[in-house]
Amino acid sequence: MCQCSKYKCGATLFVRTFHTFVVIGVPATLLFKESILHHSLIDGEHVAMGVIYILMVLWSLAMYFLTCFTNPGYITVTKYNKASMLQLQTKQTVNSDDDFDINDESVEAARNNNDDNVDDGNEEVGHMLSTECKPGMKYRVCDYCEIMQPMRTKHCEDCNKCVRKFDHHCPWLEACIGERNHRFFWLFLLSTFALIASTFYITWNAFQFRMSWSDWLETNAILFIDVVILFIGGMVVLGLLGFHSYLMFKGLTTWEAASRERITYLKYLDEDYNPFNEGLCRNLYQFLFACHLRKWEKVYARKAKGANGIV
């Protein structure tokens, strides 16, 4: 194993262990104080409230690790899709943006190589040129994987893989967020914010009054540290939850929102036009409930026919 891989594995283990420690550790301190949680779980008062709180902790951790371990939409590099890319490369001229102009002959060659090599299991095989390909369209080439990328795909340098409907690489999870796990990431943010708000309320009500600052700090030091952690974490999570809710409503990704002017299929459109916005209800359904991978070329073709043939 190379040094870089060892470092990445170590960083991943540290980040996820630290997150688990914080999520469990902060509530654990409340069990040793005169808090609502202590009265519920230790003294047996309002047991249902304590059980609900424990379920919130477990649900937040479940969403965290589900997001971490769900394949975000990696595209497997195979000899077939690399061969297709090389065939196109020998036939076509690459422009400064590394986009290929596709003609009839190159499309047919790519179809012949790819049609029987699509895997819709844990990893998406690079089936770059589908039946929706049309002459004159432009397709992005990944210089790292040497494959033709489906629309909304981006190469993640941290994971060293191309990710379908790439959103971002999250350092707090040490994982990519893409088409397959974005919904779980949003549910993680939602459940974590609910947990933080509940824990903040319990902690705030556990503070004990003392006549002097020194006595107060000695009595409430741990609770004060908890409040600081909860406040900072709550502000970050609330900001992320609000932003990703906006992306969900609009049918966008973080990458598209932040780098629109550098993305081939968006930079030639009007600044306020989003070809992937299918309306609030459909956006919510596709984000939260749709399990299949979408062919974004179809959506784009319906909404942006006048975009100079660029997809």
In a domain, 35, yes or no: yes
Does the structure show a pLDDT above 60 at 123?
no
**Is residue 206 situated within a structural domain?**
yes
What's the order of all strands across the beta sheet hosting 154-156? 124-125, 74-76, 161-163, 154-156
**Token pair of 68 as six digits:** 């971490």
pLDDT exceeds 50 at position 158:
yes
Cα 200-205-208 angle, rounded to 5 deg: 125
- Say whether both 48 and 184 belong to one domain: yes
> 166 and 92 in one domain?
yes
Question: Do residue 211 and residue 268 come from a single domain?
Answer: no
Work out how many domains the chain is built from and give that number. Answer: 2
Residue 95 has a pLDDT of 42
Report the range of poorest mean pLDDT among 132-136, 213-217, 239-243.
132-136
For residues 36 and 164, membership in a common domain is answered with no
128/242 same-domain check: no
The predicted model gives 14-20 an average pLDDT of 97
Most confident among 95-109, 149-163, 192-206, 255-269 (mean pLDDT): 192-206
On whether residue 65 sits in a domain, the answer given is: yes
Q: What is the mean pLDDT of residues 10-17?
A: 94
Query: How many Å apart are CA 101 and CA 136, to the nearest integer?
Result: 6
In a 10 Å sphere around its CB, with 0-12 CB exposed, 13-18 middle and 19+ buried, how is residue 65 labelled? middle
85 within some domain: yes
pLDDT level of residue 305 (50, 70, 90 thresholds): low
The three-point CA angle 182-185-188 to 5° equals: 155
Is the pLDDT assigned to residue 113 strictly greater than 90? no
Whether 33 and 59 share a structural domain: yes
Interval 48-53 mean pLDDT: 95
Same domain, residue pair 26 and 8? yes
Q: What is the pLDDT of residue 141?
A: 85
Note whether 55 and 204 are same-domain residues: yes
CB atoms within 10 A of CB 98: 14
Q: Which of 3-12, 13-22, 35-44, 94-103 has the lowest mean pLDDT?
A: 94-103
- Domain assignment present for residue 113? The answer is yes
CA distance 24 to 61: 9
Q: Which domain holds residue 78?
A: 74-170+253-303
310 in a structural domain: no
Q: How confident is the model at residue 106 (pLDDT cuts 50, 70, 90)?
A: very low
Residue 274 and residue 127 share a domain = yes
* Same domain (yes/no): 166, 257: yes
- State how far the alpha carbon of 248 is from the alpha carbons of 53, 183, 230, 290, in Å: 28, 9, 26, 13
In-domain check, residue 311: no
Based on the fold, state whether residues 62 and 43 are members of the same structural domain.
yes
Q: How confident is the model at residue 129 (pLDDT cuts 50, 70, 90)?
A: very low
What pLDDT was estimated at residue 139? 63
- The position carrying tokens 């690399």 is 82
Residue 88's pLDDT is: 55
* pLDDT digit string, tens, across residues 248-257: 999 999 999 9
Identify whether 53 is part of a domain.
yes
Q: Which pLDDT does position 146 carry in this prediction?
A: 85
205 and 81 inside one domain: no
More confident residue, 35 or 8: 35
pLDDT in tens, 257-293: 999 999 988 988 888 899 999 999 999 999 999 989 9
Across 20-24, 45-49, 303-307, which has the greatest mean pLDDT?
20-24
Q: Is 230 helix (H, G, I), strand (E, B) or coil?
A: helix
What is the reported pTM? 0.82
The per-residue pLDDT for 87 is 58
What integer is the mean pLDDT of 170-188? 97
Q: How many residues does this entry show for the chain?
A: 311
Q: Could you give the residue numbers annotated as active site? A: 170
pLDDT recorded at residue 90: 52
Which pLDDT band holds residue 114 (cuts at 50, 70, 90)?
very low
Of the three residues 250, 269, 288, the one that is the final residue of a domain is: 250
